[in-house]
Structure 1
Amino acid sequence: MQLQLYSRPGCSLCDDARRTLQMVQQDISFTYEEINIEQYPVLHERFCLMIPVVEKDGHILQYGHIDYVTILEALEDN
């Protein structure tokens, strides 16, 4: 299972999201790719005010404050 984490440098919520994803990885096997939205103008425009954003197969699982329970349940349902 592959997720995307859209983030940007210096974002404390993104740091929290990364830690949360790492905790969820202890319970469910998945990988994630972290994508810096500042490197892609289209992504920057799309996610600028939403980051961090966790996405799977083109569907947003959660954005803003990323919490363990929401991500765990979303991945268990898939």
Structure 2
Amino acid sequence: MKLTLYGTSACHLCELAAAMLSSSGAAFREVDISDSDTLFQRYGLVIPVLRKEHGSELHWPFNEDTLQAFLDEG
């Protein structure tokens, strides 16, 4: 499963989400939405957002339990 964490470099909540993901052992890539007008318009007010390759998204706020449930749901 491919995971993408959308955020920005100056986002403390994004750092927390990345740390949670790292602790879970899930492989993910980080995308800085400030590099894309389209991504910034889509996610600018709701980051961090974790997205699976098939399109389902987990929006902040989330904790370890909700993150694990999201990862487990195929």
TM-score norm. by structure 2 comes to 0.90
CA distance in 2: counterparts of 1:6 and 1:33, whole angstroms: 9
- Aligned pairs (5 A) from 1:7-22: 7-22=7-22
Q: Which runs of 5+ in 1 are unaligned?
A: none
| CA deviation after TM superposition for structure 1 residue 66, in Å | 3.1
TM-superposed deviation, 1:8: 0.3
Identity, in percent, stands at 29
CA deviations on 1:5-62 (whole Å, 9 max, x unpaired) are 001011100010001101111xxxx3211000000100000000000000102211x2
- 8 Å CA contact 1:51, 1:63 repeated in 2: yes
Q: Count how many residue pairs are aligned between Structure 1 and Structure 2.
A: 73
Aligned structure 1 segments of 4 or more residues deviating by more than 6 angstroms: none
Provide the TM-score with structure 1 as the length reference.
Answer: 0.85
Work out the CA distance in 2 between the residues paired with 1:66 and 1:9.
19
Superposed, which structure 2 residues align to 1:37-76 within 5 Å? 37-57=33-53, 58-60=55-57, 62-76=58-72
Residue matched to 1:2: 2
Q: Which structure shows the higher strand fraction?
A: 1
The amino acid across from 1:39 in the alignment is D
